[in-house]
Structure 1
């Protein structure tokens, strides 16, 4: 039976080059019921985080070789690990170092010498939020929706569903983890319009006869904007009709052109079929939709396509 999000083991990755620190935190977290992973350098931390997807990372700021700030930047630049909360551990409390920790992607920090109970309390708070986000993102992934999350202060695409990644690659391949500049400008303008109770118009990218439409959803507690994507084109509409009514590819094509007001002869010319063959396909469509007329079939299809685009 699959493990649910609520009873999945709580995993913490500790990254520190000092064995005594690792031992102190490992024992405290283990006693508190966490599954503990350890890494003693930046390279090992990146590998373990990518493979085992911890819920929270405790990261030493100053390590030989790759320091914690660089490790954090690399974790946040990788879609597979960008969502993981990072809590820095540092003996440096000067403002410049605290700022550096947050700029590198940290969500919090604790100072050395480490006080295990303080660390446990902070981890518990961040883990609860992280799990709620993870559950929501998993639901979007499973539903096949196209959604992205953008961090406006950096312009970074911090997360995207598989469907969104596919669409962006086809319409506007991102520059690394950066969102397209015109998309960022639209979010800024739309956010301002929303605060003034003004209408927020969608943003579109057009490639040939295909159009990718972006709609602004909401801003998360972390300040990231969620944006939904949908493709509008003949092909996308036809593909949407297939699972909606259990149609074959050809039946969906015939039904789509019926929604456009085309006659059987028109449809035959478009698809390279005889009017009689088009009529046969329509009979099958009517049966699968549970309707008896061309108008009813078209209305049902139009309403289905409209609902899918909302």
Structure 2
């Protein structure tokens, strides 16, 4: 086992003592730290308190079964990132589908082969570590991004900015904080997964104040897909102009209204300043953009914005 996986914490959940003993010994011998639970409630408590790196979960248990345990784990922001592998003696398609629908990433069948179980755990832990590293980098740069399960469309992690944008554009008056994946977004991801060429256009949520665009960034993994979010609104465009051309806030506001065809007088009224001051700001904009006319400035700005935002899109109104 690679050094990065040594001491990884595995939670084994099964109501059969013999299965717990078999997996505990095999996993400890392979270098893992092992936690055990013999029922669903204990599994949830341990997952929340210890945050294991992966959960090996019996599908059928008395009381709360594994499917319900997995659903609860995936609904909690503190545990939804934990990969879940189901253990079951049932291989009928409906049980396999139930496992994936609940948020599981894989399943192994009983009677268990410890060698196979460990191989599956190794693979999923490596993928999970890579995904966590990616998430850390996205968090550090303030990127709006989510990771979703391709088969179900459910969000398994999201950066803080992504969470803010989803709540802003996809929450409802009676549910201001979204705890689960919005249905429309989930449907788009599942369509993306079912599409042969995986080339659906971006998913767009329209609001009167702007729109939120979801673009598939990485569809290579069969476990989790990376989706990038981008907000297009008056505020977002002004901020983008400021960043692209190194403008001041007021210069970017003036350029934004120039793009929309406003005159100096109209811009002055909008911003609460004089046309002369607006003209002065435009002179600075010309210098920074390397152009000489309003038309050239607007054209350059629009082309630059288009080049960083992409083109193909389709919209779904919320």
TM-score > 0.5 by shorter chain: yes
Q: Aligned residue for 1:95? A: 92
User: Could you say what secondary structure the match of 1:206 adopts?
Assistant: strand
CA contact (8 A) 1:187 1:216 kept: no
Over 3 Å counting, the alpha-carbon distance change for 1:51 and 1:252 in structure 2 is farther
User: Could you say what secondary structure the match of 1:128 adopts?
Assistant: helix
> Pairwise mapping of residues 1-310 of structure 1 onto structure 2 (< 5 A)?
10-17=8-15, 21-22=19-20, 24-90=22-88, 92-93=89-90, 95=92, 98-99=95-96, 100-106=98-104, 107-112=106-111, 115-149=113-147, 154=152, 156-173=154-171, 177-181=180-184, 184=187, 188=191, 192=195, 195=197, 201-215=201-215, 219-222=219-222, 227-282=227-282, 285=285, 289=288, 291=290, 293=292, 298=298, 301-310=301-310
- Runs of 4+ that moved beyond 6 A: none
Give the C-alpha shift of residue 238 in structure 1.
0.8
TM-score by length of 2: 0.72
Over 3 Å counting, the alpha-carbon distance change for 1:235 and 1:101 in structure 2 is closer
User: Could you say what secondary structure the match of 1:33 adopts?
Assistant: coil
**Offset from partner CA, 1:113-141 (integer Å, 9 cap, x none):** x5543322221122223333333444444
Over 3 Å counting, the alpha-carbon distance change for 1:284 and 1:43 in structure 2 is farther
Q: Which moved more, 1:76-85 or 1:96-105?
A: 96-105
Matched residues in 2 for 1:69 and 1:190: separation?
22
Matched residues in 1 for 2:46 and 2:238: separation?
43
Matched residues in 1 for 2:185 and 2:18: separation?
50
User: Could you say what secondary structure the match of 2:57 adopts?
Assistant: strand
List alignment gaps of at least 5 residues for structure 2: 173-177, 311-318
Over 3 Å counting, the alpha-carbon distance change for 1:25 and 1:291 in structure 2 is same
Matched residues in 2 for 1:285 and 1:47: separation?
58
User: Could you say what secondary structure the match of 2:165 adopts?
Assistant: helix
Matched residues in 1 for 2:120 and 2:189: separation?
36
CA contact (8 A) 2:149 2:225 kept: yes
For the aligned residues, what is the CA RMSD? Answer: 4.1
Over 3 Å counting, the alpha-carbon distance change for 1:286 and 1:222 in structure 2 is same
Give the C-alpha shift of residue 163 in structure 1.
2.9
Matched residues in 1 for 2:260 and 2:305: separation?
12
Matched residues in 2 for 1:239 and 1:51: separation?
41
Matched residues in 2 for 1:257 and 1:97: separation?
56
Q: Aligned residue for 2:314? A: none
List alignment gaps of at least 5 residues for structure 1: none
Matched residues in 2 for 1:209 and 1:127: separation?
41
CA contact (8 A) 1:14 1:58 kept: yes
